[in-house]
A = this chain, B = another copy of it.
């Protein structure tokens, strides 16, 4: 099993396409292989099994996004701008690829328990990133000291995730990235009138 052959990404991209177009349960290995232009068995030269392929898919797409964010966020000073960049980038990633959005928001959620635990594992750094941003903000007195950081992280991720999911369910017919600004404002200032 050798990761990173030329066919490694070829197969992952084929999986994204097949799952997005056929749905998780109809995404047979043979269908993915055909889409990738390789034999069924070739998939098993690059992935231990079907689950491993799907986990790798998520790792490759989200994991790489998270790593990129870790780097980019270092350049920014204020907590508010950091949070905005994260939300905007999250939206941009999924707005860029219709298929990837369908796969991460809808199809991969119906994976079995083991697979979903692995996916949760990949998301851990995302939450750690949120923790760090909020802690820094608190130290810089930008974020209220009363805030429960873990709860706030869940609020942020839950809001972002639910927003993307709704956008996918509504056939991606409005501008997702444009929602970064208002969502960011609501998260920072709340929904209350007179936020002066």
Contact = CB atoms under 8 A, between A and B. Distances in A.
Interface of A: 23-25, 106, 109-113, 116, 120, 134, 137, 141-148, 150-152, 154-155, 157-163, 166, 169, 179, 182-183, 185-195
A116 B24 CA distance: 13
Contacts of A158: 158-163
B182 A134 contact: no
Please indicate which of the listed interface residues A116, A150, A186 has the most CB atoms of chain B within 10 Å of its own CB.
A186
A193 B143 contact: yes
Contacts of A150: 166
A155 B187 contact: yes
How many copies the complex holds: the figure is 4
A106 B115 CA distance: 12
Contact of A192 (B144, B154, B163): B144
A141 to B, nearest CB: 6
17 contacts: A25-B112, A110-B111, A110-B113, A143-B192, A144-B194, A146-B185, A147-B191, A148-B179, A151-B182, A151-B183, A152-B191, A155-B187, A158-B161, A161-B162, A187-B190, A187-B191, A190-B195
Contacts of A189: 189-190, 192
A143 B109 contact: no
Nearest to A107: B113
A177 B160 CA distance: 23
A134 B191 contact: yes
A149 to B, nearest CB: 10
A33 B188 CA distance: 50
A154 B166 contact: yes
Contacts of A160: 158
A148 B183 CA distance: 9
